[in-house]
Amino acid sequence: MAEVVLFHHVQGLTDGVRAFAELLKAGGHTVHTPDLFDGERPASIDDGMALTRRIGGDTLDERADRYVADLPAGLVFAGFSFGAAIAQRLAQTRPGARGALLYEACLPIVGEWAVGPWPDGVPVQVHGMDKDPFFALEGDLDAARQLVEAAGEALAAVYTYPGDRHLFTDGSLPSYDAEATALVIRRSRQLLDRVG
């Protein structure tokens, strides 16, 4: 079975993020859910973005790095939105990554904001709504398609879902879409089953 580190979004380690982790665990996988905000749960995306600025990107990266340092190699890195960026960075830079599940965000793998090339042999899925203003309309969907092109369709896939909601997989938020989330879980488990 796969061992997953699932990073929360800018509204923190919500009950919805924990519930999503439990759905992945129900497939027999181990899922870690680090709390990079030390218990804070911002009320909105804007509040969460303000909190990440206050804490600082370097500090948040250090917290994530410290958390995974105590875990074995061979992890699958996963995350929602802000957390997907952390997951992607770790999948691309930490030796031994087994896969990545990027929910509602994807960083470019070429250009000014790129972390670097996608590692050989590491499968990845990117999930997001096709009209999500943060994912589809700010360049993340384009970055995801470039990632698939670079990694190859045997290893990489982009899944879009109809709608304009951000954080649609979090059952504790008004943006939740149960039907789309069920499909995200099913597809995510397929990747985890393959690498586990």
**Angstrom distances, CA of residue 181 to CA of 40, 118, 170:** 24, 26, 8
What's the whole-number mean pLDDT along residues 3-14? 98
The pair of three-digit structure tokens given for residue 44, joined into one six-digit string? 């909105």
Q: Which pLDDT tens digit goes with each residue over 40-86?
A: 999 999 999 999 999 999 999 999 999 999 999 999 999 999 999 99
Looking at per-residue pLDDT, the higher value among 8 and 113 belongs to: 8
Is residue 88 a contact partner of residue 150, using CB atoms and an 8 Å limit?
A: no
Please give the share of the chain, as a percent, with pLDDT higher than 70.
99
Residue 107, pLDDT score? 94
Q: Is the domain 3-195 a CATH 3.40.50.1820 member? A: yes
Residue 117, pLDDT score? 87
pTM: 0.97
Q: Which pLDDT tens digit goes with each residue over 118-162?
A: 999 999 999 999 999 999 999 999 999 999 999 999 999 999 999
Is residue 30 a contact partner of residue 3, using CB atoms and an 8 Å limit?
A: yes
Is residue 135 a contact partner of residue 102, using CB atoms and an 8 Å limit?
A: no
Taking 80 as the threshold, does the pLDDT of residue 2 lie above it?
yes
Find, among 104, 106, 113, the residue nearest to 81 by Cα.
Answer: 104
For residue 87, what pLDDT band results from cuts at 50, 70 and 90? very high
Q: Which residue is it, tokens 């665990």?
A: 25
Taking 80 as the threshold, does the pLDDT of residue 112 lie above it?
no
What's the whole-number mean pLDDT along residues 25-33? 96
Residue 56, pLDDT score? 96
Output the average pLDDT for the chain: 96
What's the whole-number mean pLDDT along residues 25-45? 97
Q: Would you list the domain boundaries of the chain? A: 3-195
